Chain A
Amino acid sequence: MKISDRLAYGILKRYGIETARYAFVKDRTHAERASKKLSFPLVLKIDSPEIIHKSDSGCVQVAFSENDLGEKFKLIVKNAEKLTKKIYGVILQERIDGKEMMIGSKVDEQFGPVICFGLGGIFVEALHDVSFRLIPLEKRDAVYMIKDSGAYDVLRSRGESNINAIVDTLLKVSRLIEKEGIRELDINPLMVNEKGAFAVDVRIIK
């Protein structure tokens, strides 16, 4: 069962995994108030356990300014209500530029908890460029799993600093999985830029 995004972001935070700045809101007024602490453009995402593929169903919207925030809020809730009544709220999130990577985890029948890293985005299944390791991860494992994936060539042009940020994030996710007993996790995309690595979307299945 997918846990609420609000809780999922909370878990990431507890383990020191950086995320795009966000606020969790229940209604339109709440959204308008919360948006003042964030900078536009903002991405709106439905938080519902029933909606797994948000972008396919109009449950991700972008508000470019305060002026269209209300309208986009209305639209996203309307789209979500077509699918389910179970809606926890909406996540307002700052947009981050960078290279789209992913970190994931699952419990394998033969090996127990494993972690993966690779090129992210909505085409991950088509790209099929991820490398796996068993949890717990050591630093050296994290370095080599990045080097083993095709993402390494994409990252190399940006220098060592963002690779270190990914290594750091991988080690934190490894610890998180070990401690929290999570069945499946996707951080996709993990946006990587010169400032670091930021979880932009997370999905946790308990």
Chain B
Amino acid sequence: MRHGWLGRVILWIIFLAMLATPAVMRRRAAKAAAAEARGGSCQSALARYGFCFTEVSQQAGIHFVHQAPVLDAKLANIMPEVASMGASVSIVDFDRDGWPDIYVTNSATGSKNHLYRNNHDGTFTDVAEQMGVADVNQPGTGVSMGAVWGDYDNDGYEDLFLIKWGRPELFHNDQGRGFTRVTDAGLPQWINANTATWLDYDGDGKLDLFVGGYYPEDVDLWHLQNTRMMPNSFEYANNGGRKYLFHNLGNGHFEEVSAKVGIKSRRWALACAAADLEGSGYPDLFVANDYGVSELYINDHGHFHEAGEQTGVGFAPKSGMNAAFGDIFNQGRYAIYVSNISEEGVLIQGNNLWVPQDGKTLHYENLARDLGVELGGWSFGAQFGDLNNDGTLDLYLENGYISLSKTQSYWYDFSKVAGGNSSIISDAAHWPAFDGRSLSGYQEKKVWINDGAGKFNDVAQAVGVTDRYDGRSVALADLWNTGALDAVVANQRGPLLIYKNTVAPGNAWIEFALEGTKSNRSAIGAQVTLYWNGQQQVQSVMGGSGFASENDRRLHFGLGKNPKIEKAVIRWPSGAVQTLENLTPDRFVTVKEPQ
């Protein structure tokens, strides 16, 4: 080698410097993370971030602990994995008293779901038994995986669709005094679903229902014919459950029209959400799929075409587990947040934040890394909401898959099988036994606050979100009508947590409660664009979003300090556009669609 010993020395210095670089980068990252306060008091969080959470479930009278399903004994080796979902939470004002109530699902056979009525005094009372929506996990009917609420018969009261691995259930809300199971709605006998959303896809003023299958519908997880019911690929699985679009016929019956309107997929759907992403006036449908790419169904006046690849959101396959929409840049357009899996040193899929790009056609770019919301963990539910009322949407993310042993991990065995040939991965009998090990367990949650300048910073520990349960579903709601968004978290095999939000004085807010007339009465699909202080933010009333969850029907806007609201423009699903002026902050605004 030329240049003798001096050259060698220089070469080795360069070489060693390269080897040391990861340590330097790690130190830099640790320093940046340390810059965000860990722990601390609510007072310091209020001073620093403008809000803090206090977990108040016990004080609120909620002592719910989720029970996981126990499936066919043939799956005993991987039971923690196949029975890892079912904890869900949805917000509904089922009795129309103006205060949000909470519905949570349970998933063990014979276990009961709970409907917590808001007592207006900081406490809740479980009225599920009394209302007839508790005992819904009876043997032979499957178990609950989630719930979405929508007034399908436009009588003014929110009805309940129960998402199950089993017999799907529709409950009619009898004017807030009880629920009646609808037996002749035209729903199938069995669906293994984890996601659903209400939407009026054809703009006829009646709510339709999309349901995304996970396991194939011919699989009874309690009575398996064989163990070949797992996905046939970790990234390209196409042997999941079918999709359903139930068109509301208006007489209490639904007609399944998915194939007719262009929805044909057997990917493993885990989350979905619908809003008018393209600006056509019709709701588009986004489906986050496990073991594969996401799908974006663009609505062409009641007929869908799948445009995932074309729009950029459906090319790189990951493990989609969430679908939430938020106008994060206050520019009148929705970004889409999809959660995936990231485990240090093993698998770094990274979550996706699909941000719409400028141009004539709808196209998204994943800016999760640039904005700082890429790495969560084994992520599930996430929701956008302005947690500190500063005028920009923040992001709350649940993480953690299976928390069992604190010392032993299943990751090695998981990675061994997950990357293999379809004939191996698709048969549960080929998977090594779990043996009490964890898989991405005991993970921290993320509460990312939006700095309004293109960055999100995680402040979860500082603002009081310190639990390490296996978070699944999160819903945001102003539970106590204070003008602040609280967070309700459903944990798999864990307690339901109520994080009460305290927002520092000074930042204003406004909330809209909409009611359709020509449009569906729940106003699902209605879009409010609020203009204040020279900026705008758009939000849509949704019939389900995140992972197995539904936020408060009311739309909450943070406004920052001393806001001057110019106007709010409401575009109703009927196509009617209504402009509200002379709005004042710190108010609940109830709006009925003009006749």
The answer to whether A binds B is: no
